Amino acid sequence: MKSEQPRARFNCVVCSISLLFIVFATRDLSAQNSRSNLKNFQHVFVIMMENTGFDTLIGNPNAPFINAAAAQYGLANNYFGVTHPSQPNYIAATSGSLNGVLDDNDTTIDVPNIVDQLESHGKTWKAYMQSYSLCATPLDHACGNQLYERKHNPFISYLDVQSDPARVANIVDFNQLSSDLASGKVSDYVWISPDQCNDMHGRGSTPDDPCDFSQVQALIAAGDSFLLNTVNTIMNSKAWTGNSVIFITWDESDFTDTGAEGFGDISGCCDSPAGAGGGHVLTIAISHSDRTPRVSSVAYNHYSMLATIQDGWQLGCLGFTCDTANVVPMSDLAGPKK
């Protein structure tokens, strides 16, 4: 697909794409994985969605863009959250370990993180948090009637970020993304957290609120629309060039009110806590340098995504991304075509 025409292509894909079609119509690259074939990324975009399992999305008519992207780009069909609940997954995806963070309570941890690695290697970064502008201070717990939640902003929990005004200034409201893309002032590493009306999480409100927890399909439709618009904006910008890549992932599987922390699916891999994985989630990699459909059945989680970024830029490793036996980068989806 040509980058100047993504909307037309995605809107013409029917909603009834099934997992069976995706798996059998696309090359399975499960046996092809190596740390040696990741190219130097131009830009990396990470979009973290919320609380929705793989089977809830694939084939769901309320998620036409997601299903189109899964069929058209790189699909990781054996990807897991690291654990439950939300915040530990965000910490894992940016520091390579849970680092003692086991819940959604506000926390401050003094540990090495992706920001340290990026800056020490001359890379720039920026985190776009939707509805962050509604906060009075960067350390607020929640803002805008639970639109923004600190637990979905891992960067502010790192002591060496929150204590450095220049670093805090790199955490901005999502509404700045369009202007940054239009101006060409795009960081090497871009993190995007939609608010709780657009990340499929929802908020506790009233049942007739389309953002209420109970409005599952409405939340999925809103999240799908957010992804369509955001990915189109990125792919139609000057930043979408070279070896740039977009990762779309979900922090953990569906909230079910059963099982550990209310999550029925505790499957995991790749150094997840034993018996307390984050469940089977969808992850899509859109690579500018190779946009051919691919499917990987390699076991991946958020440590794997972080390792992919680290290896592409030769940043070194953090925590469990140093465990090369159990955590492998997503080179079959984000690397060059085989």
Give me the domain span that covers residue 206: 37-334
Q: With CA atoms as reference, report the closest residue to 139 among 147, 125, 149.
A: 149
pLDDT at 24: 32
Domain-located, residue 26: no
Residue 155 within any structural domain of the chain: yes
In the beta sheet, which residues pair with residue 47? 192, 248
Q: What is the dihedral of CA 151, 153, 156, 157, to 10 degrees?
A: 40
Task: Write the DSSP assignment of 34-99 as a string of letters.
Answer: -TT-----S-EEEEEE-S--HHHHTT-TT-HHHHHHHHHSEEEEEEE-SSSSHHHHHHHHHHSS-T
Q: What is the pLDDT of residues 171-181, one digit of tens each?
A: 999 999 999 99
The whole-number pLDDT of residue 315 equals 97
Q: What is the predicted pLDDT for the residue at 208? A: 87
pLDDT value, residue 236: 97
Q: Whole-angstrom Cα distance, residue 67 to residue 28?
A: 17
Task: Pull the structure tokens for residue 322.
Answer: 């140093």
- 278, part of any domain: yes
Q: What is the pLDDT at residue 205?
A: 77
Residue 149 lies in a domain: yes
pLDDT at 291: 78
Please check whether residue 16 lies inside any domain of the structure: no
The token pair at 41 is 């990324």
Q: Where are the beta strands (DSSP E) in the chain?
A: 27-28, 44-49, 74-80, 125-129, 142-143, 148-149, 171-173, 189-193, 245-250, 280-287, 294-296, 300-301
Number of domains in the chain: 1
The two tokens of residue 330 are 């997503």
Look up the CATH number of the domain holding residue 180: 3.40.720.10
Inter-residue contact 48 to 210 (CB < 8 Å): no
Condensed to tens digits (0 to 9), the pLDDT of residues 26-63 reads 334 433 344 446 779 999 999 999 999 999 999 999 99
Give the three-state DSSP class for 200.
Answer: coil
pLDDT below 70 — which residues of the chain? Answer: 1-37, 256-262, 336-338
Report pLDDT for 261.
67
Residue 29 inside a domain? The answer is no
Copy the structure tokens of residue 93: 């995806």
pTM beyond 0.75, yes or no: yes
Contact between 199 and 147 under an 8 Å Cβ cutoff? The reply is: no
Domain membership of residue 158 (yes or no) is yes
Count Cβ atoms within 10 A of the Cβ of residue 323 and give its class: 0-12 exposed, 13-18 middle, 19 or more buried. Answer: middle
pLDDT for the residue numbered 38: 79
Residue pLDDT, tens place only, 195-234: 999 999 999 978 889 999 999 999 999 999 999 999 999 9
* Confidence at residue 31, expressed as pLDDT on a 0 to 100 scale: 33
Q: Is residue 170 part of a domain?
A: yes
